[in-house]
Structure 1
Amino acid sequence: MSVDFGSQDHRGTPEKPGRVVTLIERSFWETLTDHHPSGSDRVWGTAYRIEAAKVAEVREYLDIREINGYTIHYTDFHPADASAPIKTLVYIGTPDNDQFMGPQDPQDLAEHILRSEGPSGLNKDYLLSLETALDNLSPESGDGHVKDLANRLRNMSEVTVCSSQEEVALDHELEKVGSTDEQEETEKIL
């Protein structure tokens, strides 16, 4: 199952953590009060095969990046082509992870994501890319919680763009023009 965790080093800052998703164990997910509609036993994702010569290097990098409040699990990954399962290493969030944000109102969460930015970029870009990646894995792979947040974010972005355009148009409508040349320039802008 996936839930929202803070991102102080990638999609936010320590002062203003962004939001990302992480995997948690089902037993922890079941204790939460805001069960998402996507309570499937199946988790969709991508597995990467690492060259034997690079395994230690990649593992060291991932341990630094993911180990804060995560545990390592080995689990079977079932490829979409129904070939034999592959044993994979997965980092699972733990209940005592200080980055765990707990249940949040979806609208407040979407607004927070819209305002967050960190060294790796805008938090909204992370969410929209995650939605696209999940949707592209398989017809059944989308996540209701991620989709809901992405739709809320898009709706807020449309409102922000529309209101900004209306303000610009209103400013031009109310602008006093003192000469014919200024009038022509104003009409070109509009």
Structure 2
Amino acid sequence: MKNHRAVQEVNAGSMADIAFLLLIFFLVTASIENDAGLSRMLPSTNNEAAADIKKRNLFEITINNKDEIMADGEIEQLQNLRKKIIRFIDNGGLPIQDDNYCSYCKGERLNTLSEHPSKAIISIKTQRNTSYPVYVAVQNEVIGAYNYFRNSQSLRLFNTTFEVMNSKYHDAKTTVNEKVKLKEQIEIVRKLYPQKIVEPETINN
């Protein structure tokens, strides 16, 4: 008779124990950093909320198929766009007795421009054949206007620019305690000049 040798089985029970111990080891020794990101509110898609915006608080920029820039109802050159945005945002058009009066605004305080930087909204609308470089250039001018205010307020409050604070916050060499302090300062400046940019649906014609 032929001898039938039984197939030897590998005991996998110890392997599971080893894997479990390794998992515990990595959980105990691994360092998990807390999320210290900065909050940013995305534009609202609620049509009812958009309807509540006062006309004076909305600065509309439209780029047509010929890459012409229409700013607040007038054709404007790109190099002059930032000045118009700055004038609009920093207007501070509420009367001094109003609870939302902007004490730090240095604008003309006209009743035709924004009431307060927190209420100022920039709308960028494009047409189907608007070129991408022009669109990006307009975006840069809008962001540049906000950076202008944030840098000036940051210098006034913390003796350094907003861009330097933001750069240090995202630097890997910055300690956790320093990041916590920087985040508080950045949020203070952002609250003074919140960046509110909306982009309505692209126009076909």
TM-score of the pair, normalised by structure 2: 0.27
Return the structure number with greater strand share: 1
Point out which structure has higher relative CO (alpha carbons under 8 A, 6+ apart): 1
TM-score of the pair, normalised by structure 1: 0.29
